[in-house]
């Protein structure tokens, strides 16, 4: 326990700078804010609530931390209708039924109290991502992805785990964590999350990267791209994001566009090239029409200096 009563982690990182350098080694370019929150989550034993627009690297952050730690990534993909049997645990009813039938077919008298105790033992328990994460013997990073997709009532499933890293199962009692995993919850802000859930987490907002960082990401992720083309891509995408769009291009879409330009042998992006390939960046026709109007502005393709 830490001084504030929270469960402390295993102190996997020595400093914020170390987190940032190690993330870079697994090709995730973080800033000081991202690295700082990861460091604090490790030291305080608290989950991280990562909010921001879709496609800004929220899920990738958890994957990259898992990679740099050599830890197993356990992912719970949230969706409307997610319940306890898919998130936490359920009983293996078919196996239980077979055990009951086998017992009843034997010549011995059935002791129903013993049978009930037997079929509700760990042998018949099917672990789902949340329970699997806290009962794992090996190092684990738990990713609860798109938590804003579940109903408010379902959030209650998460509260006990995120507070005390334990699960209460009526038939077995309380199962406590063997270790404290690093936990990431991601949200695209499609609905407001409960105060109870937010209170248990450290908060991190991941927005679209600034120009310099997005250029660095493109250079790191896109094989064969030149510094000049990476700079053009980052600048044009920045100008497009400043428009009133239904959906701004994500970082992953920026990378797809950059790879497309490299495959086409493009060295300098002009209005014609941008117009022909804009469907890689944007997925709504109204957004594409706005972007094509922007491409007629020569300033969109101008470079500083």
Question: pLDDT tens for residues 227-266?
Answer: 999 999 999 999 999 999 999 999 999 999 999 999 999 9
Question: pLDDT tens for residues 75-90?
Answer: 999 999 998 889 999 9
Q: How far apart are CA 147 and CA 76, in angstroms?
A: 9
Question: Alpha-carbon torsion 247, 248, 250, 253, what sign?
Answer: positive
Residue-level pLDDT at 147? 94
pLDDT category, 139, cuts 50, 70, 90?
very high
Question: pLDDT tens for residues 264-302?
Answer: 999 999 999 999 999 999 999 999 999 999 998 766 776
Residue-level pLDDT at 163? 84
Kindly state the percentage of the chain with pLDDT values over 70.
Answer: 93
Residue-level pLDDT at 214? 95
267: left (phi over 0), alpha (psi -120 to 50) or beta: alpha
């Amino acid at each position: 326990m830490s001084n504030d009563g929270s469960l402390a982690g295993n102190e996997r990182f020595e400093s914020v700078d170390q987190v940032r350098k190690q993330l870079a080694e697994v090709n995730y370019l973080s800033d000081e804010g991202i690295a700082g929150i990861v460091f604090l989550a490790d030291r305080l034993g608290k989950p991280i609530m990562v909010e921001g627009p879709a496609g800004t690297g929220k899920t990738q952050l958890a994957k990259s931390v898992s990679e740099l730690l050599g830890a197993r990534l356990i992912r719970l993909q949230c969706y409307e209708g997610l319940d306890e049997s898919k998130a936490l645990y359920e009983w293996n009813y078919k196996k239980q039924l077979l055990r009951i039938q086998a017992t009843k077919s034997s010549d011995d008298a059935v002791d129903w109290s013993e049978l009930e105790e037997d079929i509700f033992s760990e042998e018949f328990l099917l672990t789902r991502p949340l329970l699997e994460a806290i009962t794992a013997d090996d190092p684990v990073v738990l990713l609860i992805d798109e938590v804003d997709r579940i109903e408010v009532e379902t959030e209650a499933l998460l509260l006990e785990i995120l507070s005390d890293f334990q699960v209460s199962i009526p038939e077995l009692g309380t199962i406590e964590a063997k270790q404290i995993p690093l936990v990431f919850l991601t949200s695209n802000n499609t609905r407001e999350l409960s105060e109870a859930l937010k209170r248990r987490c450290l908060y991190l907002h991941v927005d679209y990267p600034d120009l310099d960082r997005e250029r660095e990401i493109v250079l790191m992720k896109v094989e064969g791209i030149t510094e000049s083309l990476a700079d053009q891509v980052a600048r044009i995408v920045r100008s497009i994001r400043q428009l009133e769009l239904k959906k701004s291009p994500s970082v992953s879409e920026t990378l797809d566009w950059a790879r497309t330009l490299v495959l086409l042998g493009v060295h300098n992006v002009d209005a014609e090239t941008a117009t022909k390939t804009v469907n890689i960046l944007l997925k709504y026709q109204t957004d594409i029409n706005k972007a094509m109007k922007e491409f007629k502005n020569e300033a969109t393709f101008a470079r500083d200096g």
